[in-house]
Amino acid sequence: MTVDQFYDLGVALGFTMHQLDVIEYRRFHDSEQTIYDMLMTWRERQPSGQAAKETLLSLMESLDSPAEEMAISDIGLTGEIPDRTLLALARQIRPKKFYEIGGKLGFNTSELQHIEHRTLYNRKDANIQLLSRWIASQTSGPKAKQTLKLVWDSVQDASKAEKTKDGRSATGHFGAHGGKLSTKSHGFTLHIPPGALEEDETISLRVLTEIPNGLTLKEDELLVSHGFQCYPSGLCFKKPAKLIIPHCALVTAPNKVQTVLYSWNQSGTPKRLQHSPDITCSVQERWLEISISHFSGGYFAIYWDWLFLKGILLSCMSFLPRVVPSNRLPILEVRFAKKPHGQKWNDVHVLNDPHLQPVKTDDDEVLFHRSKLSVTCQPVSGKSPETQV
């Protein structure tokens, strides 16, 4: 269970964020014992065992549902700020904004560093602790809500700035002569042929790096590339445009590998499209070649067929904290990520924590077959390290 899920479930069971903080800190981040303590405390309050079981099962199922979007307008002018609202805000605080937002909430640098140390530099946990301490210190509801609105605006501005600077988006103006649009990262390229547009258009291309919660593949399907979104949605071409997306598959017969598109309608419901007249995909040795006559977006999955697919390419990269207190052992993070052909390690490993640094300058590439991946840590000294996967 993740930090987010622990707090979501706890709040849904009737605990306050402060009570959950106490439970978590008492067990010093022993996640299994922390969850056990929370559930036992809750169970003791319940009059009926069967009713408690049904309630818990229902709440556990809801943890896998997509999180609802929060708008600052959802917060009323009267009453207290709900813990659910604080949790939603905590998820959206970017790592680089932690100290800035903490300062706006009235914390000094020493207090913010203490929060980081206490949460073992777990960014999600630190954000929750930050807002939990802040709300506990507030005596005026209207003033707290005004402060929260300022923080929310700061988070939103940071999110918008990141979208324009992270290299995952590209925008261009095109006319009758067509042209090419490429993202700075991830190697996406959109080719618009001459005569494809009836009039001048401003066109945008965005790389989708986070897999939506509602996307469920079939057993023999595999994602080997990032998703895509083209704007303006619904734009039609007189001649099909061509989108190039690098993939991480090692294929022996590219022309025989089949694909399926997972797209979304306006209501946000995922739709599985095996054949579409508006968008087709052919697998090449190092990339997907997508023919588009009508703008949309989604994720292409391939069918895992041993006759034509040897495996996928993974990037292995290790990270260590930049600063480690003298009384604490450093934690080595070893990360694996799918690595499309031609990409660099920092295109596939999102280093969203400024307190971590890569152990070396480049990654190790691993060929993953359709089986379990075993990771072994071999220490230089005779002492065996503690490992957690």
pTM higher than 0.85: no
Q: Which of 106, 133, 164 is the last residue of a domain?
A: 164
Is residue 238 domain-resident? yes
CA dihedral 324, 134, 158, 333 (to 10 degrees): 30
256, 199: one domain: yes
Q: What is the residue-level pLDDT of the chain in tens, covering all 389 positions?
A: 566 676 777 767 677 766 776 666 655 555 566 666 766 676 666 666 666 566 656 655 554 444 444 444 455 545 566 777 777 777 777 777 788 888 878 888 888 888 877 776 677 778 888 888 888 787 766 777 777 776 666 555 555 444 445 688 999 999 888 999 999 889 999 999 999 998 888 999 999 988 877 788 888 889 999 999 998 888 899 999 999 999 999 998 888 899 999 987 555 567 888 877 788 999 999 999 999 998 888 999 998 877 788 889 999 999 998 887 777 788 888 889 999 998 888 888 877 667 788 988 889 888 887 666 666 666 655 555 555 54
Is residue 352 domain-resident? no
CA distance 172 to 231: 11
E-strand stretches of the chain = 169-174, 179-182, 189-192, 201-208, 221-223, 227-231, 236-246, 249-251, 259-264, 270-273, 279-283, 287-294, 297-303, 309-321, 333-338, 356-358, 364-368
Q: Which domain holds residue 41?
A: 3-164
Q: For residue 189, give the CATH number of its domain.
A: 2.60.220.30
Cα-flanking dihedrals φ and ψ of residue 242, to 5°?
A: -125, 125
109, 126: one domain: yes
Q: Which of 164, 197, 224 is the last residue of a domain?
A: 164
Long-range contacts of the stretch 374-380 (C-beta < 8 A, 24+): 375/334, 377/332, 377/334
193, 207: one domain: yes
Is residue 335 domain-resident? no
Q: Are strands 297-303 and 227-231 parallel, antiparallel or unpaired?
A: antiparallel
Q: Give residue 68's pLDDT.
A: 44
Q: Which of 164, 185, 202 is the last residue of a domain?
A: 164
Is residue 375 domain-resident? no
Is residue 373 domain-resident? no
Residue by residue, DSSP assigns 52-112 as HHHHHHHHHHHTTSPPPP--GGGS-SSSPPPHHHHHHHHHT--GGGHHHHHHHTT--HHHH
Per residue in 1-26, is it b (16+ CB within 10 Å) or e — as a string? eebbebbbbbbbbebebebbbebbee
18, 153: one domain: yes
Residues 93-104 have pLDDT tens digits of 777 778 888 887
254, 146: one domain: no
Share of the chain above pLDDT 70, in %: 68
Is residue 388 domain-resident? no
Q: Give residue 183's pLDDT.
A: 92
146, 256: one domain: no
E-strand stretches of 265-360 = 270-273, 279-283, 287-294, 297-303, 309-321, 333-338, 356-358
89, 182: one domain: no
Is residue 355 domain-resident? no
151, 209: one domain: no
158, 204: one domain: no
Is residue 325 domain-resident? no
Looking at the structure of the chain, the number of domains it has is 2
Structure tokens at 289: 């070649």
CA 212 centroid distance within chain: 8
139, 208: one domain: no
Q: Give residue 90's pLDDT.
A: 76
Q: Give residue 340's pLDDT.
A: 93
Going by C-alpha positions, the residue among 152, 146, 114, 157 that lies closest to residue 133 is: 114
106, 47: one domain: yes
DSSP SS3 for 214: coil
156, 184: one domain: no
